[in-house]
């Protein structure tokens, strides 16, 4: 199978939402599209649903069945190995892509020769539409625009990417938060960006989503691994001085989230475990963040005074 556009869908125990997700994907108005459905060793009926979809749409669907669970990153890596499209999209198995989404993103990508195109999405948890990418950043990117885009954050699933952007890239496996540094790197590689100012994606993020672990140890591991991966990926770049402020801001975003998760754990963590987790976070923050809080211009975007006070408390809690 060869297509202009490949859409990768990692699937793990998504039997409740999978049919609705796949229904909109197999009926996309853009027809030169391959769907790469990656079953990440699901233990529910997800594989049965995927097999039915493959049988019904054999010319459109590629089913990849992983025997061992490798997490969203591993599933995406597997999908990328099979992708033949000039452009790559990602859809989470509990979300809904509008049936016109990939036609509209692809048309913008081709007409404007874009490496990446983003659209508006609807966030069910917040009951609001989110335009993550400022249309003012559309067009050829310079360093300042790239930094602004990184500071704004976002997700893979509202975007379309030129295939070459992923050359030499592999997602971290067996973890969550695996795409944070990858999206930053993709933005740094993007030369021309497009924006479609229409809501084309519905993000559900149910309470039992894998991206919202209740296990403090699992979340702690994901946060510390992501802080480390982010620093190791960017510290050696020749342009590090230009991106240092936004990179440290991104690390502090993780740092604060890790502290808050620990101190607000319910039931409370045992004192020894709590102190160990906070120490791990503090050591990474002191290793990778050198700009004072007051001098990082991006902190005021999401952090309140109490948030910064909490981070400083952990900094000094030797």
Indicate if 231 and 194 belong to the same structural domain: no
Please choose, from the candidates 234, 32, 15, 205, the residue with its C-alpha nearest in 3D space to the C-alpha of residue 125.
205
Indicate if 21 and 98 belong to the same structural domain: yes
Indicate if 174 and 231 belong to the same structural domain: no
Indicate if 226 and 309 belong to the same structural domain: yes
In a domain, 84, yes or no: yes
303 three-class SS? coil
Q: Residue 195 contacts by C-beta under 8 Å, 6 or more apart in sequence? A: 108, 117, 118, 119, 133, 134, 135, 137, 138
- Confirm if 108 and 114 have CB atoms less than 8 A apart: yes
Which two three-digit tokens encode residue 141? 């990117």
Going by the DSSP 8-state scheme, the letter that residue 13 receives in this structure is S
Domain end position, chosen among 182, 203, 224: 203
Quote the CA–CA distance of 68 and 153 in Å, as a whole number: 31
In a domain, 208, yes or no: no
Quote the CA–CA distance of 182 and 229 in Å, as a whole number: 10
Residue found by looking up tokens 């360093």 in the block: 143
Can you say how many angstroms the Cα of residue 286 is from the centroid of all Cα atoms in its chain?
25
Q: What is the pLDDT of residues 246-280, one digit of tens each?
A: 999 999 999 999 999 999 999 999 999 999 999 99
What would you report as the CA-atom Rg of the chain, rounded to the nearest whole angstrom? 20
Quote the CA–CA distance of 245 and 53 in Å, as a whole number: 46
Domain of residue 30, residue span: 5-203
For residue 210, list its beta bridge partners: none
Look up the pTM and report it. 0.95
Indicate if 294 and 154 belong to the same structural domain: no
Give DSSP secondary structure letters for 166-183.
GTT-----SSSSTTHHHH
Which two three-digit tokens encode residue 51? 């097999």
Indicate if 259 and 176 belong to the same structural domain: no
Indicate if 115 and 253 belong to the same structural domain: no
In a domain, 211, yes or no: no
In a domain, 192, yes or no: yes
In a domain, 153, yes or no: yes
Q: Can you give the pLDDT of all 318 residues of the chain as single tens digits? A: 678 999 999 999 999 999 999 999 999 999 999 999 999 999 999 999 999 999 999 999 999 999 999 999 999 999 999 999 999 999 999 999 999 999 999 999 999 999 999 999 999 999 999 999 999 999 999 999 999 999 999 999 999 999 999 999 999 999 999 999 999 999 999 999 999 999 999 999 754 455 556 688 999 999 999 999 999 999 999 999 999 999 999 999 999 999 999 999 999 999 999 999 999 999 999 999 999 999 999 998 889 999 999 999 999 986
Q: What is the CATH classification number for the domain harbouring 196?
A: 3.90.550.10
Domain end position, chosen among 203, 235, 270: 203
Give DSSP secondary structure letters for 76-114.
HHHHHHH---SEEEE--TTSEE-TTHHHHHHHHHHHTT-
Quote the CA–CA distance of 133 and 156 in Å, as a whole number: 12
Residue found by looking up tokens 């030129």 in the block: 162
In a domain, 264, yes or no: yes
Left, alpha or beta for 177 (phi > 0: left; psi -120 to 50: alpha)? left
Quote the CA–CA distance of 71 and 173 in Å, as a whole number: 6
Quote the number of domains for the chain: 2
Indicate if 49 and 177 belong to the same structural domain: yes
Domain end position, chosen among 157, 175, 203: 203
Q: What is the pLDDT of residues 194-231, one digit of tens each?
A: 999 999 999 997 544 555 566 889 999 999 999 999 99
Indicate if 195 and 248 belong to the same structural domain: no
In a domain, 210, yes or no: no
pLDDT at 216: 87
Indicate if 194 and 248 belong to the same structural domain: no
Indicate if 140 and 228 belong to the same structural domain: no
In a domain, 199, yes or no: yes
Indicate if 290 and 155 belong to the same structural domain: no
């Amino acid at each position: 199978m060869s297509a202009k556009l490949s859409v990768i869908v990692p699937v793990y125990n998504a039997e409740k939402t999978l049919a609705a997700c796949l229904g909109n994907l197999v009926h996309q108005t853009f027809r030169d599209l391959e769907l790469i459905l990656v079953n990440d060793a699901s233990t529910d009926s997800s594989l049965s649903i995927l097999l039915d979809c493959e049988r019904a749409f054999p010319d459109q669907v590629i089913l990849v069945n992983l025997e061992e669970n490798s997490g969203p990153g591993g599933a995406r890596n597997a999908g990328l190995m099979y992708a033949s499209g000039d452009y790559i999209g990602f859809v989470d198995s509990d979300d809904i892509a509008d049936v016109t989404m990939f036609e509209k993103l692809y048309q913008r990508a081709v007409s404007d020769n874009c490496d990446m195109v983003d659209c508006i999405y609807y966030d069910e948890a917040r009951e609001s539409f989110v335009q993550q990418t400022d249309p003012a950043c559309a067009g050829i990117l310079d360093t300042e625009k790239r930094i602004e885009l990184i500071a704004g954050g976002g997700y893979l699933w509202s975007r379309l990417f030129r295939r070459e952007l992923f050359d030499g890239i592999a997602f971290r496996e067996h973890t969550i938060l695996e795409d944070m540094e990858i999206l930053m790197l993709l933005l740094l590689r993007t030369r021309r960006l497009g924006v479609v100012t229409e809501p084309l994606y519905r993000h559900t993020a149910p309470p039992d989503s894998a991206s919202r672990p209740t296990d403090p140890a699992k979340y702690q591991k994901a946060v510390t691994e992501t802080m480390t991966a982010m620093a190791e990926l960017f510290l050696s770049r020749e342009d590090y001085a230009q991106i240092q402020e936004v990179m440290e801001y991104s690390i502090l975003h993780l740092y604060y989230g890790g502290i808050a998760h620990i101190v607000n754990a319910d039931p409370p963590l045992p004192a020894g475990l709590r102190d160990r987790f906070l120490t791990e976070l503090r050591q990474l923050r002191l290793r990778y963040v050198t700009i004072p809080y007051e001098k990082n211009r991006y902190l005021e975007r999401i952090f309140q005074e109490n948030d910064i006070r909490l981070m400083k408390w952990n900094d000094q809690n030797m």
